Amino acid sequence: MKALFLTLLMTFNLHAAIESLNYKILPGKYHLGGSLKAEATNFNSVAKTMDVTVHYDIIKKLLIPAPANVLKNKMVFALPLEFQDERGYLDLEKSKSRDSQYATIQHMGRVKTGQFTDAHRVQIIGKNSKYICNIIYHPTFPELGWSEIKIWLNLTLLSNYEIQAVLK
C-alpha cells in the first residue's frame, strides 16, 4: 500500500513539474510560420515512459496544396522517463542510440545554442515513419528543456515537410 502511494505521489509530482512550452514556427519553404506547443501529457510509471504531445499550427503560403487538418494537428512522442531531466540525455550520449517501442532515439552530439554551450542535439525517429524530430536540450531551459524543435513530417502531399520552431 505504501509503495502504491509513493508511486502515485511520484507520478503526480513528475506531472506537476513539467508543463507546456510555446514555440514560434519559423518561416519555411511552404509556410509563413505558425505556432507549436510541446507538453508532457502522460506519465506511466509502470511502462517507465512519458508522452510528449506536440501541437502545431502551420500557416501555409498561398497556393500550397495542403489541407488545414494536416497543418493544424498534433503528434505524440513516447519517451523513457529518464528524459524528464538531463540524466536521460547523458546516458544517451554514452550509448549513442536507444530503441523504444515507439521510436529510435539518437544522440547527435553537443552544440552551442545562443549563449549556452554543451546542449544536447537529439534525433527522434518515429517507428511509424511519419516523422523525424531533432531537438536541442539544455538543462537550463524551462520545463522539457527543449530550446529548439525541428520536425520532418511525411504528409499526404508533401514528403519530408520541414518545420523548425524556437522557444518563444
**Is 165 strand, coil or helix?**
strand
- Unique residue bearing C-alpha cell 511502462: 47
Model confidence at 3: pLDDT above 80: no
Model confidence at 53: pLDDT above 90: yes
104 in Cβ contact with 93 (< 8 Å): no
Domain boundaries, the chain: 2-167
34 in Cβ contact with 56 (< 8 Å): yes
Nearest to 143 by CA among 49, 24, 9, 39: 39
pLDDT tens, residue by residue, 99-143: 988 889 999 999 998 888 899 999 999 887 778 999 999 999 988
H helices, E strands: number in the chain: 3, 10
